[in-house]
Amino acid sequence: MGSNVKQVRQAQRETFLRKLAQRKAALAEQGVTPDKIKKDRMVKHLLSDIQRTALAIASIEKRAKTIEQAQQQKQERAAQAAAAPKGKKGKAEAPPVKEGKKEKKEKKDKKEKKEAEA
């Protein structure tokens, strides 16, 4: 039951549906009422198996859709990167001045002012 292949899960679901139909037919043949058929342990078990495989199929489809979207986005980014012009970046702007040097000058100015006052 631990398969992550969609075809395998669909085949399992069909098998469970076939077994469920056989079980219901056998119980009806024995003269069991429809209420008791719904309460039969084997019928309940088969219904839960069908539900479990349906959820697994939905999960597989969702995962496949996510993977497909990721591949499309990757292709779009690659196309955009190829379309973008490649070239050396020129130094159009001067490098920013560091503020640390200004602070040192201010400290020197303060020291000179203190010496001048004294």
Determine the straight-line distance between the first and last CA of the chain, rounded to whole angstroms. Answer: 91
102: in domain: no
Query: 41 pLDDT exceeds 90?
Result: yes
pLDDT value at residue 9: 95
Query: 28 pLDDT exceeds 60?
Result: yes
88: in domain: no
Tell how far CA 83 is from the center of its chain: 29
Q: DSSP of 6-52, one letter per residue?
A: HHHHHHHHHHHHHHHHHHHHHHHHTT--HHHHHH-HHHHHHHHHHHH
76: in domain: yes
Query: 87 pLDDT exceeds 80?
Result: no
Its domain, for residue 55, covers 1-81
17: in domain: yes
